[in-house]
Structure 1
Amino acid sequence: MSTSGPTSFAEYELPSPPQDPVSALAFNPNHSADKARQLLVSSWDRLVRFYDLTGSTDTNSVRLLKTFQHDAPVLDVCWINDGLAASGGVDRRVRLLNLETGQSRIIGKHNQAVSRLRFSPATGLLLTGSWDRTIKIWDPFNVESGQALLKTLEMPDKVLAMDLSPPFPSAPMDARSVSASANGATVEPDRTPRAVIAMTGRTVHIYELNRIKETLERVKKGEEVEEKDFEPDQRRESSLKFMLRDVKCMPAGDGYATSSVEGRIAVELFDPTPESQSKKYAFKCHRQNVDGIDTVYPVNCMSFHPVHGTFASLGGDAVCSIWDAAAKKRIRQYPRLPSPLSASCFSSDGAVLAIASGAENIEDTRHQGPGAGEVGEVGRGGEGNVRIHIKPAWEDCKPKLKTSA
């Protein structure tokens, strides 16, 4: 990956966006020049859209390559490789999407909606989380045998969010660690593949996926294993007091961030030692004064920059902010977008940030004025108000390093 900034461009929007809110955005994790700008978009309008933004500098140069129809709203989509993706949603089915042919195939299902999907290139495992309080582990390359489902893990609560660490496994880890100092110092990256699962009861489970993979290999060989072999390596209670909305892992592999409905973000480290745990912290964000009242908005999504290690937070206030987790400060706040924000992602080359606006709004019918019905003059989201904004990200997301006196 180049460490020099890619060519900039003017912000633009994707053509013909979904009619209903976007549930997830996912750029191809392959950071090669011809793959890094390929984008998957899942939506409540029952479609997954496959775009190619390579070389695009405006709306007219974007190519919509494929669309995949589902039977109900799609809640998440993830890449498996350049030609294959996985999706799931309210219809409970787990689908494999052939990005070359445009065909999809159901490989199994949950008992309730599939809320999150993540694929681990390091282990070859596909993880799906559901409101049915389970995580299912699949082999997406063993579908023909009818044995794609490898294991079902019981969870204590509904799965709301899930992410894998490191989130950009195929790219060089140039990002600063949260445990680094704010002057840009680096630490040795942690490439241990982990899954971080956040649930409705503010519970967070952390699994080391190499251990899970080894246990599954023992099962395949006919060796005896116990259920404790599939237990999480760490069980944590969220540092945030209210329901979690998102969890995202840091590019350096040393930790993760969680966000909540109550306008807060917590930054956590995997290392359970007291020294490392003393570095975790939480902070308030996405709040504004409306008619003299401190109005709090949910932090619906976060995304980490693959190189700089900074991250974006997106709120119900229609604002996207960029944060330096190591320096513990905000480095940029973009102008308010038309309506509440629902999803975002950075391209794996670090050049592009995609943001979806049009999430459902916090409404207050007592609010008077031109924006009646919307708190803080935030525009209406929902059907017909969805947009996908493409922003240049390299320079905007660079940490502001301290200079010596």
Structure 2
Amino acid sequence: MSFFSSATASTSTAAAATPGDLSKDIEVQQPPTDSISCLAFSPTADILAVSSWDNGVRAYEVMASGQTAGKFMYNHDQPVLSVCWSKDGTKLFSGGADKLAKMYDVSTGQTTQVAVHEDAVRHVRWVDQANVLATGSWDKTLKYWDTRQQQPVATVQMPHKVYAMDIQYPLLVVGTAERNVCMLNLQNPTQIVRTIQSPLKHQTRCVACFTTGDGFALGSVEGRVAIQVVDEKITNQNFSFKCHRRDSPGTKDQGQVYAVNDISFHHQQGTFSTAGADGVFTFWDKDARSRLKSFDSGLNPISATAFNASGTAFAYAISYDWSKGHTGNVTGHPNKIMLHPVKEDEVKKRPPKK
């Protein structure tokens, strides 16, 4: 696609220290009318799925020019909190506050209920190797579903409400309330391998598994990210760092601290993005422990992010993130989805430090 592929030209090393360029970013037309909760690109095409608090699930096709066109839409009865695709791109799954997960068949246009919980379905993730849908809920359970059956294949009790969840086979990581983090091996999916207390001091906001499936990045409301490996023999590789903070010049305090709302890994490079309530998204190299490039979209929160399958585009949603509760959802808050053409040097891994 010309819009994306032309953006992969290298930039100068000197430019690495300058703020990222957003001038070529393109706004998705006809976005949701309320806060955007999740973004997910199809693994097989440049089709972006979006879930939102207006009860809708929308999909947009991204043209070669970077312009977008609505592809399809369907609804839940209450806000939709999560979307994900099947590996072949033929099915889209969604979960929401109506306690249900639904499946949309791209070829037929039909929507089917495929899961039900006793409370909101906070996250949905497809497990291609087992041909099941994993759902994490505020009812303190993780469930696996064969979409052809009404009852779950298996149920795993979680320590508390599910706040964050991600999968990179065979690793499944669940972050719950009370700062619990549970690790499961999907080759034995009903057994929690290990539960730890988050190394971060405050509420877990998001989690994303490494592309290699041997660790994960954890984000919290305190403007901090923790990098964690699964292997207990190499926990010396674990570390955390501050991000999404605005300094107060001339003072000794730490300034404004913002929630880390989303983390997304670049499929080819293994580098990752963080996006926060400060309206900034940043690309990082965890192995070099360095920041690659930061982009400031303004003062409104970035609520969700996603790289496309080829890693040449980065979608980010500018909308209210509920970090200030109901009172913060003021009239006139923007709901925008932007597409950033990714330059190679913005996400390319740095040489290892000697």
2:74 to 68, 84, 90: 68
Match of 1:15 in 2: 29
Q: How does 1:105-116 map to 2 (within 5 A)?
A: 105-116=112-123
Match of 2:20 in 1: none
Contact in 1 for aligned 2:288/2:352 (Cα 8 Å): no
Identity over the aligned pairs, expressed in percent?
Answer: 34
**Offset, 1:361:** 6.8
Contact in 1 for aligned 2:261/2:321 (Cα 8 Å): no
**Offset, 1:6:** 2.8
Q: How does 1:4-403 map to 2 (within 5 A)?
A: 6-8=5-7, 10-30=24-44, 35=45, 37-57=46-66, 61-80=67-86, 81-140=88-147, 142-143=148-149, 146-147=150-151, 149-166=152-169, 193-212=170-189, 230-273=190-233, 276-290=234-248, 292=251, 293=253, 294-337=255-298, 339-360=300-321, 384-395=333-344, 396-401=346-351
Contact in 1 for aligned 2:320/2:333 (Cα 8 Å): no
Structure 2 gaps of 5+ residues are: 9-23
In structure 2, give the amino acid aligned to 1:42.
S
Q: Give the secondary-structure state (helix, strand or coil) at the position aligned to 1:86.
A: strand
Q: Distance in 2 between matches of 1:21 and 1:261?
A: 18
In structure 2, give the amino acid aligned to 1:120.
V
Give the TM-score normalised by the residue count of structure 2.
Answer: 0.87
Counterparts in 2 of 1:88 and 1:362: CA distance versus 1, 3 Å: closer
In structure 1, give the amino acid aligned to 2:257.
V
Q: Distance in 2 between matches of 1:338 and 1:358?
A: 10
Counterparts in 2 of 1:336 and 1:290: CA distance versus 1, 3 Å: farther
In structure 2, give the amino acid aligned to 1:27.
F
Counterparts in 2 of 1:261 and 1:91: CA distance versus 1, 3 Å: same
Match of 1:186 in 2: none
Q: Give the secondary-structure state (helix, strand or coil) at the position aligned to 1:248.
A: strand
Q: Distance in 1 between matches of 2:64 and 2:140?
A: 42
**Offset, 1:259:** 0.4
Root-mean-square deviation (Å): 2.2
Counterparts in 2 of 1:66 and 1:50: CA distance versus 1, 3 Å: same
In structure 1, give the amino acid aligned to 2:315.
A
Contact in 2 for aligned 1:338/1:358 (Cα 8 Å): no
Counterparts in 2 of 1:361 and 1:94: CA distance versus 1, 3 Å: closer
**Aligned residue-pair number:** 329
Choose between structure 1 and 2: higher strand proportion.
2
Give the TM-score normalised by the residue count of structure 1.
Answer: 0.77
Contact in 2 for aligned 1:20/1:383 (Cα 8 Å): no
Counterparts in 2 of 1:89 and 1:11: CA distance versus 1, 3 Å: same
Contact in 1 for aligned 2:219/2:261 (Cα 8 Å): yes
**Offset, 1:108:** 3.0
Q: Distance in 1 between matches of 2:145 and 2:267?
A: 26
Q: Distance in 2 between matches of 1:197 and 1:362?
A: 20
Q: Distance in 2 between matches of 1:45 and 1:322?
A: 30
Higher gyration radius (CA): 1
Q: Distance in 2 between matches of 1:357 and 1:346?
A: 16
Q: Distance in 1 between matches of 2:261 and 2:334?
A: 17
In structure 1, give the amino acid aligned to 2:69.
R
Contact in 1 for aligned 2:278/2:299 (Cα 8 Å): no
Counterparts in 2 of 1:278 and 1:73: CA distance versus 1, 3 Å: same
Q: Distance in 2 between matches of 1:203 and 1:403?
A: 33
Structure 1 gaps of 5+ residues are: 167-192, 213-229, 364-372, 375-379
